[in-house]
Structure 1
Amino acid sequence: MPSSFFAPSRGVPEAEARYAVFGGSILYWALGWGVAASLETRELHWYIAMATAPIAWIAWGLGWLRSWRSAAWWLAWAMIAVVAALSWNSKAEQTTLFLNLVVMVVFCGWVLGTRAALGMSLAAIGLVVALVLHEKLKWLQFLGMSYTIGFFLWVIYIERRRYERQLHKQQKSLEELSQHKRQVALLYQAVDQSPDSVLIVGLDGRVRYANKSFATQYGYSSEEVIGRPSLEVSVNGLSADEHRSMRETVHSGGVWRGTLHNQRKDGSTVTESVSISPVYEDGQLSSFVEIKQDVTDRLQAEEYIAFLQNFDGLTQLPNRYALARLLEKLLLQSRVGRRANSISPSIWHAMLVVDLDRFKKFNDARGSAWSDALLQALALRLRTLVPETAFVARTTADQFAVVIENAGSSRQESRLQAYALASDLLLALDFLDIHHEGVERVPISCGIGFTVFPFVEPGLKVDATEHIMRRCSVALSQAKNQGAGKIHAYSEALAETAHRHLQVEKGLHEALEHGHLRLFVQHQVDMFGKVAGMEALVRWQHPQEGLISPAEFIPIAEESGLIIPLGDWVLEQVCLLLTHPRVKAGGYTLSANVSALQFQEPDFVSKLTALLQRTGVDATRLTLEFTESLLLTDIEAIIRKMVALRALGVQFAIDDFGTGYSSLSYLMRLPIQEIKMDQSFIRDMQPDAASGALVQACLMVAKSQSLRVVAEGVEELAQTHVLQAWEPSILCQGYLFSRPIPAEQWLQDTDKLSDALLTEL
């Protein structure tokens, strides 16, 4: 908005300028022709007055072709020119001419703005000054003219400021109104496209507005909903009490919220979270807003999540968490009953764990889809086999638990009840009909371990859920160890065995770390009693328990994987022993046992090669012994490793020959140099019995392949005579010649021990 007289003002808008030019030009035209009509003769004034018509036409043309502001400028300057012409050769009244000048100043000020009015004023005053200087006017008339123009300029300025102020306010109001309209349109669009159903309901309870989501959700068109009661089409799931509570809440200014099962147009039901809020106009309650969100899927998801917390998604059986809660409840009931009666519990419960035999092999052979179908079939079968009151749960991938409440009034009775159920299950679980890509009957077997509770084990104060599960796990492990399709009950002896197993495994870790292992050797002698070689044996010197038998810790090392670092330690000690001067001088060979797990390690060949290079051992004096179980894995990979080590000079021997299940065709392909007959053959050997024939057969196989033979477990002199009669080059190993002794002791007493062996023969 202009702040001073000289500040620019653009005048009226283009549309208003058009009306001003039309009106001004017509009046100007009429005035000119009126002047012409008043003249009696056709002189210059008459022609000038008649020229007002073409001047008006030209103004109209400029307005249409260019702009009406240009037309206003043309009209103003044309009028100045006409006034100047008439005034210069005037026989007319000067006052009328000057009045035209004032009118033009006012016209320009209004239509074109204050700056245009100022310019027109200067032009008019300049014309008057020229007329005074040419004695056409007097200075008094100049002063009157100037005063009049100045006065009107001031009036124009004041009015223009007021007009422009009002115009500015109107423009601002229009902008605010336009902004409000845009916001309202945006809000309307957001509400109309909202995924939630939105309705506006009047105080009479009838719908005034419903967005698209409501129409889509409920199947109504907008025309069908508007004017109908909300209780019929929107919140028809409200009960009478809920409706009354909602009205009270909203009328008091609060927001009512709830979850309703509303009915659509087609009669189907939708579960919605509903929020109803009051709307005020001028401080008075005018309507309500209903906002509804479909929560059917969310509630179903929440229910499914809650289901998965307690049930297995595959078999629909209770899961391990639900099983634990049941056990805790039963134990709590027993403790409460015991405190109330102050006696031992008279009610015992039983828990069985059923585990599928060879499930991993089935999964590897048939795939996860078939395995899932198998587990579903087993779950269904278990539900039909156990009593209705029994609780069946899936605890792990292929394990199921069965809890029998009130199995008996004594521990023995409940154990018998559990064993009877386990036996029935084993008899019934022989085949399963699997429904996957058709129906297939699959033979199965299960291992079952069970325990009873509440039972307080020695060293514990109370029975607990984890103790029950542990006891069942221990019993199941024992059943699986006995073979497929076995049952085993928990006993304290099993717990002691499992505890001892953990102790040995933990102690073996410490033995490897702190150097508690010792290397022992046992001689291998020929028919003359001369030491031809030795077998290296590992012993565990426990700090508190002394020497622990390898029969106890070797199987645990195999099971836990500790056999690999244990075997690496033995090989390193054997290589160090082979570098000893006495061993070198005697030309002894050393044999070391290698487990299948250790030999199957991908870097076994590279590690042993590096060890031989580091110690500088003659590899031909090292013999690696392995059992036939090694050949049950990838035989081609085994042969490649043996060939690689044989190229270094390492020799191989098959330990416990004849006790395994390997094919003789495989044995013939192996680069072996020695076989060791198991001590069970030697112990039961009788020349005329089947055992003797078996030993002779082994000797014949060895001779056909030019292999050395070592007989283990030789404890009687008669055994050596028979063996040497059958095979003079045979080597004997056993207590008859020497027990295993520490390697360091053997190095000290080498000569003495050799003499003793010769004397023995």
Structure 2
Amino acid sequence: MPGFLIGGNAMLRLPSSQISRESADPRFRDRGAGLAPAVIIVGLLALSAAVVYGTGGTSQAYPHVVYVPIVMAAAYYGGIGALASALLAGFVVLGPLMPLNTLTGESQPVEGWLFRTVFLVAVAGTVAVLIKQIRSEKGAKLFAESHNASSRLPNWSELQNQIDGFLRGSGLRKPHALLAIEANNLEQIAYTLGGSVVDQLPALMYEQVRAILPRSHSVYHGRSNRLAVLLPTEEMAVPEAVSKAITAFRRPVRLDDIPVYLDVTVGSADIETESKTAHEAMRQVNLALETAKHQARRHVHYRRENDTSSRRNLTLLGQVPAAISADQFQLFYQPKVDLETREVVGAEALIRWMHPEHGLLSPGHFMPQIENTALIDDITAWVVETAWRQLRSWRMAGIGIELAVNVSPRNLLNTGLVPSLKRLFDQDGDAAALFEVEITESAVIADAQKTVRQLHEIRELGAQIALDDFGTGYTSLRYLTELPLDKLKIDQSFVRRLQQRNAEASVVNAVIQLGQELGLTLIAEGIEEEGIRGHLMHLGCHQGQGFYFSKPVPPATLQGMLGRPLPVHTAAS
């Protein structure tokens, strides 16, 4: 009988492959199949007859031995089996043919063996009902332990059992891969439609998946917004399955009669005997999924080299608090150069980690992991205070250049950022005008209203605001008028190909014109040659950064570059 998932107003049919796997599980199926138990039951009835006859007939206590085959019949064949066994015991084994007393040959009275038969039938029925109830409760408990309560799909524990069976050689016989599919916009949907409606989402996600994958696949429900798929790769390769899954989710699902589009990310991993355990295989696919999410990619397949890097990054993350206390972090400064005069007019503070084992580490080795934890507040606080001290030091030396620091989306959602900046700016109000806070487009997307409010408060303290990596995110153009911006930074991905592709040149030209109309200072990132500098200057861009001018350098080196035009040959250094 086909199974159904019922959630809210949705009734969803489970595929036969999913149901057949569960019905084949000995924990859920009825054990009353096969002839072997029947042969044993008949043998026990015959043995009971021999015991009763040999011990003197039905007048003795030994007739009670017939309860054993009756209980066994109820256990293996349910009510019908128990009834048949009771009737056989009552009419044949202990019926009129069995003497009341074998020594005298006295027969049983009719009412005696009839009453006994009725009693045995009653006992058989009671035992059958009790066994059915016990089995039902046990089955329900096992089902609850191995299935998700809302979607009624097998859960992570059941997936682990399946993979362990495969790795031991007793389960899956063919090559399989594991896919993890996660809906990234679950919270947004929950805020809009409510949590009770979102409970239907995994079942609806399952419907999208089962329609495009092989019948022999199995789907498991882990987290509220994550499904896992056990995929036979001989029937469908991973790239094909992922492509079909992503395409399937381009169609909306209906929640509360509202078409909802799911933004999904997929991680995948091959299940190999080298994985040793199901836990390891599941860790690998989860790592691939988290890597895809972090890199803003639709799909990432697990690679061992990525795993090694991830383990090192995780180790580094645990060392951050001690590294702050031990002053292992340093700030390097990349010059911002006036494109016309070639003079350094500002700098961007960039963090480096002087690690005692790994040497000087760039932000790419540790900042992505830090940004996903509360440690980002500690790191940003350190960067802001260190940069502020450097800015004031330069001012006291008569150097009045602007200095920018990067602030993450998480920092902007922290109510402690503005008070900490105010505390610093109260020390030197004039220096605040030279202090610049750089944000990325993702910071605006995270919580637009709160971000705009926070930035206005920072702007009111006297600092400047710059929008970094413009053109790579999804910022609505209206935010350019709502945000209190002073500067707009053109992303290096457009700048580096400025003279190679007309499309990039058109984008850069449009951004520059837009910035000029809004009265913003325009800064181009990633300048690596003289021709690009000249092209940008001709288009009207004001400032630039890049290795053509200088890589990030210590503060003393930057100080030596001030007060004079940078030579053209700096590109070769």
**Same fold (TM > 0.5):** yes
Q: Name whichever of 497-506 and 570-579 sits farther off.
A: 497-506
Partner of 2:201: 374
Q: Mark the runs of 5 or more structure 1 residues left unpaired by the alignment.
A: 1-235, 245-259, 274-294, 336-344, 408-412, 458-462
Partner of 2:112: none
Structure 1 residue aligned with 2:327, among 494, 515, 522? 515
Q: How far is the alpha carbon of 1:741 from its aligned partner?
A: 0.8
Q: How far is the alpha carbon of 1:556 from its aligned partner?
A: 2.7
Provide the secondary structure at the position in 2 that maps to 1:570.
helix
Q: Structure 1 residues 415 and 667 mapped into 2: Cα distance closer, same or farther (>3 Å)?
A: same
Task: Work out whether residues 577 and 583 of structure 1, in 8 Å CA contact, stay in contact via their aligned partners in 2.
Answer: no
CA separation in 2, counterparts of 1:471 and 1:593? Answer: 32
Q: Structure 1 residues 422 and 615 mapped into 2: Cα distance closer, same or farther (>3 Å)?
A: same
Q: How far is the alpha carbon of 1:715 from its aligned partner?
A: 3.4
CA separation in 2, counterparts of 1:648 and 1:443? Answer: 41
Structure 2 residue aligned with 1:738, among 550, 553, 567? 550
| Residues 535-614 of structure 1 aligned to structure 2 (within 5 Å) | 535-580=348-393, 584-613=397-426
CA separation in 1, counterparts of 2:518 and 2:242? Answer: 52
- Paired residue total: 457
Partner of 2:308: 496
Q: How far is the alpha carbon of 1:520 from its aligned partner?
A: 0.9
CA separation in 1, counterparts of 2:518 and 2:261? Answer: 43
Q: How far is the alpha carbon of 1:698 from its aligned partner?
A: 3.9
Q: Name whichever of 691-700 and 586-595 sits farther off.
A: 691-700
1:317 maps to 2:153: yes
Partner of 2:31: none
Task: Work out whether residues 539 and 547 of structure 1, in 8 Å CA contact, stay in contact via their aligned partners in 2.
Answer: yes
Partner of 1:469: 282
Q: How far is the alpha carbon of 1:617 from its aligned partner?
A: 6.9
| Residues 448-487 of structure 1 aligned to structure 2 (within 5 Å) | 448-456=266-274, 463-478=276-291
CA separation in 2, counterparts of 1:443 and 1:702? Answer: 34
1:757 maps to 2:566: yes
Which of structures 1 and 2 has the bigger CA Rg? Answer: 1
CA separation in 1, counterparts of 2:535 and 2:241? Answer: 55
Q: How far is the alpha carbon of 1:381 from its aligned partner?
A: 6.6
CA separation in 2, counterparts of 1:386 and 1:722? Answer: 51
Any idea what the Cα deviations from partners look like across 1:623-674, whole Å, max 9, x if unmatched? 1122233333444433433333333321222223444443444323433333
Structure 1 residue aligned with 2:168, among 319, 322, 332? 332
Q: Structure 1 residues 402 and 271 mapped into 2: Cα distance closer, same or farther (>3 Å)?
A: same
CA separation in 2, counterparts of 1:689 and 1:430? Answer: 31
Partner of 1:32: none
Partner of 1:152: none
Structure 2 residue aligned with 1:304, among 136, 140, 147? 140
Q: Which letter maps to 2:193? A: R
Partner of 2:227: 400
Partner of 1:671: 484
What TM-score, normalized to structure 1? Answer: 0.51
Provide the secondary structure at the position in 2 that maps to 1:713.
coil
Task: Work out whether residues 429 and 446 of structure 1, in 8 Å CA contact, stay in contact via their aligned partners in 2.
Answer: yes
Q: Structure 1 residues 702 and 377 mapped into 2: Cα distance closer, same or farther (>3 Å)?
A: closer
CA separation in 2, counterparts of 1:759 and 1:432? Answer: 55
Any idea what the Cα deviations from partners look like across 1:518-553, whole Å, max 9, x if unmatched? 111122333334332222221122222222222343
Task: Work out whether residues 676 and 712 of structure 1, in 8 Å CA contact, stay in contact via their aligned partners in 2.
Answer: yes
CA separation in 2, counterparts of 1:395 and 1:347? Answer: 24
Partner of 2:432: 619
Task: Work out whether residues 214 and 235 of structure 2, in 8 Å CA contact, stay in contact via their aligned partners in 1.
Answer: no
CA separation in 2, counterparts of 1:300 and 1:664? Answer: 61
Partner of 1:5: none
CA separation in 1, counterparts of 2:237 and 2:506? Answer: 51
Higher RCO structure, 1 or 2 (CA under 8 Å, sep 6+): 2
Task: Work out whether residues 488 and 520 of structure 2, in 8 Å CA contact, stay in contact via their aligned partners in 1.
Answer: yes
Task: Work out whether residues 575 and 615 of structure 1, in 8 Å CA contact, stay in contact via their aligned partners in 2.
Answer: no
Task: Report the RMSD for the aligned CA atoms in angstroms.
Answer: 4.4
Q: How far is the alpha carbon of 1:688 from its aligned partner?
A: 11
Q: Which has the higher helix share?
A: 1
CA separation in 1, counterparts of 2:197 and 2:238? Answer: 31
Q: Mark the runs of 5 or more structure 2 residues left unpaired by the alignment.
A: 1-82, 95-119
CA separation in 2, counterparts of 1:691 and 1:429? Answer: 31
CA separation in 2, counterparts of 1:661 and 1:509? Answer: 33
| Residues 263-278 of structure 1 aligned to structure 2 (within 5 Å) | none
CA separation in 2, counterparts of 1:719 and 1:429? Answer: 41
Q: Which letter maps to 1:535? A: E
Task: Work out whether residues 631 and 662 of structure 1, in 8 Å CA contact, stay in contact via their aligned partners in 2.
Answer: yes
1:530 maps to 2:343: yes
Task: Work out whether residues 315 and 379 of structure 1, in 8 Å CA contact, stay in contact via their aligned partners in 2.
Answer: no
